[in-house]
Homo-oligomer: A and B are copies of this chain.
Amino acid sequence: MSELKGLMYPRTPEGRAGILPGPPWHYSGEMLTVEFRTDPERVAELLPPGLTLAEDDPGAVAIIWAEWQSCSDTFEELLDPARAQYKEVFVVIRCQHEGTTFSRSAYIWVDKDFAMARGHIQGYPKKMSEIWMTRPVTVGRAGPRLEPGGRFGATLSTWGRRIAEARFTITGEADSAGFVNGHPMLHSRFMPAIEMDGRDSLDELVTMSGFDHEVGPVYAGDAELVLHDNPTEELDRFGDIEIIGGYYRQVGTSMGPGTTVHANPNPMAS
Chain B residues with CB under 8 Å of A226's CB are: none
Q: Restricting to A115-166, which residues have a CB under 8 Å from any CB of B?
A: 116-117, 120-123, 125-128, 130, 132-135, 137-144, 151-157, 159-162
Of the candidates B80, B134, B269, which one forms a contact with A265 in the assembled complex, judged by CB atoms under 8 Å apart?
A: B269
Chain B residues with CB under 8 Å of A260's CB are: 193-195, 201, 268
CB within 8 Å for A4 and B48 given contacts A113-B116, A113-B127, A159-B83: yes
Q: How many residues of A contact B (CB 8 A)?
A: 123
Q: Does A176 contact B (CB under 8 A)?
A: no
Q: Does A103 contact B (CB under 8 A)?
A: no
Among A28, A116, A157: residue with most chain B CB under 10 A: A28
Chain B residues with CB under 8 Å of A215's CB are: 139
CB within 8 Å for A196 and B137 given contacts A44-B1, A48-B11, A153-B80: no
A138→B9 contact, CB < 8 A: no
Chain B residues with CB under 8 Å of A234's CB are: 12-14, 16-17
A 201-231 binary contact with B (CB < 8 Å = 1; else 0): 1101010100010111000000000000001
Copies in the complex: 4
Of the candidates B84, B107, B252, which one forms a contact with A139 in the assembled complex, judged by CB atoms under 8 Å apart?
A: B252
Of the candidates B22, B112, B154, B266, which one forms a contact with A196 in the assembled complex, judged by CB atoms under 8 Å apart?
A: B22
CB within 8 Å for A1 and B52 given contacts A191-B121, A234-B16: yes
Q: Does A243 contact B (CB under 8 A)?
A: no
A78→B134 contact, CB < 8 A: yes
CB within 8 Å for A269 and B258 given contacts A78-B153, A142-B26: no
Q: Restricting to A1-41, which residues have a CB under 8 Å from any CB of B?
A: 1-2, 4, 7-14, 16-17, 19, 22-23, 26-29
Q: Does A181 contact B (CB under 8 A)?
A: no
Q: Does A182 contact B (CB under 8 A)?
A: no
B253→A263 contact, CB < 8 A: no
CB within 8 Å for A231 and B79 given contacts A215-B139, A260-B194, A268-B204: no
